[in-house]
Structure 1
């Protein structure tokens, strides 16, 4: 059995140049329109799963209401919580002399946690938990997922079998607004899931 996932990053937020994790900033109308078009282009999807944050949920809900599809909201697909840094401009963060700083975090996120933020280990664990739960019910039906860049990068690490603690993908992968990543999941006779990223 094979299943297809379409993993879509939310559209451009109302304000750019800020570190947006749990900060619940909506997407621009044009950004939502781009994500909506991507959802329309997905082949025969049967459900949509979304982060609860507005920049994801608003367009996912609008699409599902129009297409008559079920929408599942899962907080585990929320972006990382950047704590005291969340919502601040990158300019301010890069000028800060606080330690650890944003540069420390980008270089070694497993070793440096944003002040009052979510540790990388916890972020990894909740996404791993979501994935393990998702694959417990194999289905041939396609699913679209509307979420965030950090979430997509960490899920890619899981799908590619990168070891826990590996972090190069976080700074070297760029996932643009409203971009789609296609993943096929083959379930063998034992029920084991074999994900493959499709370009």
Structure 2
């Protein structure tokens, strides 16, 4: 256990930290942000600073981020403390949600009740607002994370500044969970994180079952996560 309270395993396996961005005004208003490029609000910037101080203690080796402003600003808080460069990758964005973007979840429930229910149940055939499916998001996230890991050595940690819905399905995909069990993972609170660690099968990191979940929705922020998390 580190002085920050973050568990650090004593082995040579790599780790990936999926770090959700800080709060935005649209988060506070319960709007489906999707890939709309919304900035952090004052609360979100404070959350990023607080979380970054904890994550810096892990000694991350590489920092990658979604190219959306709320994720990049969150990553910047950690870059300022560690001196790491930020690599951005559009594959780490949140779900593209088409006509749902900008709507409150109450509005979506009123106008698209069946599709929203299926979406919330992780039906992989549903396109959010006519946009992406869960599996499409999971696949691009997986590809982006594995590419970023190519520059991370044994025992090192990759930090991925990303989004709630995208992080959840990426974690499920990398662990090899069947689609019907993806809903067993909760979303992440703003600026909380989840940690995947390589297993003994990780000599082939793209293979299912190469990763195990060692922390989920961790952090010191007091607000519990309540749905929605698609941002």
Q: Same fold (TM over 0.5)?
A: yes
* 8 Å contact from structure 2 (residues 122, 183) kept in 1: no
Give the C-alpha shift of residue 95 in structure 1: 1.0
Aligned to 2:191: 178
Which SS does the other structure have where 1:143 is aligned? strand
Partner of 2:75: 60
Q: What is aligned with 1:197?
A: 213
Q: Any gaps of 5 or more consecutive residues in structure 1?
A: none
For 1:187 and 1:71, the matched residues in 2 are separated by 29
Shifted more, 168-177 versus 152-161: the winner is 168-177
**What secondary structure is seen at the aligned counterpart in 2 of 1:130?**
helix
Structure 2 portions without partners, runs of 5+ = 1-11, 216-231
Task: Identify which of structures 1 and 2 has the higher relative contact order when contacts are C-alpha pairs closer than 8 Å and 6+ apart.
Answer: 1
- CA shift, 1:116, in A, is 3.1
Tell me if structure 2 keeps the 8 A contact 1:36–1:60: no
Alignment partner, residue 46 of structure 1? 61
Report the structure, 1 or 2, having the larger strand content.
1
Judge conservation of contact 2:171–2:196 (CA < 8 Å) in 1. no
Please tell me whether the aligned partners of residues 100 and 114 of structure 1 are also in contact (alpha carbons under 8 angstroms). Answer: no
The 1:136–1:68 alpha-carbon spacing in structure 2 relative to 1, beyond 3 Å, is: closer
Distance change in 2, residues 1:12/1:70 (3 Å): same
Moved more, 99-108 or 12-21: 99-108
Deviation at residue 99 of structure 1 after TM alignment: 7.5
Instruction: Give the count of matched residue pairs.
Output: 195
1:128 to 130, 142, 153: 142
| TM-score (norm. length: structure 2) | 0.74
CA distance in 2, matches of 1:170, 1:24: 26
Counterpart among 21, 37, 60 of residue 10 in structure 1: 21
CA offset at residue 59 of structure 1? 2.6
Change (3 A) 1:155 1:124: closer
**What SS does structure 1 have at the residue aligned with 2:17?**
strand
Deviations 1:115-166 (A, max 9, x none): 4311333222212322332444451322211111111111221232113xx1
Q: 1:105 to 1:4 in 2, by over 3 A?
A: closer
- Cα distance in structure 2, aligned partners of 1:138 and 1:70: 14
Q: What is the CA distance between 1:29 and its match in structure 2? A: 2.0
- TM (norm. structure 1) is 0.84
The verdict on how the C-alpha distance between 1:135 and 1:110 changes in structure 2, with shifts beyond 3 A counting, is same
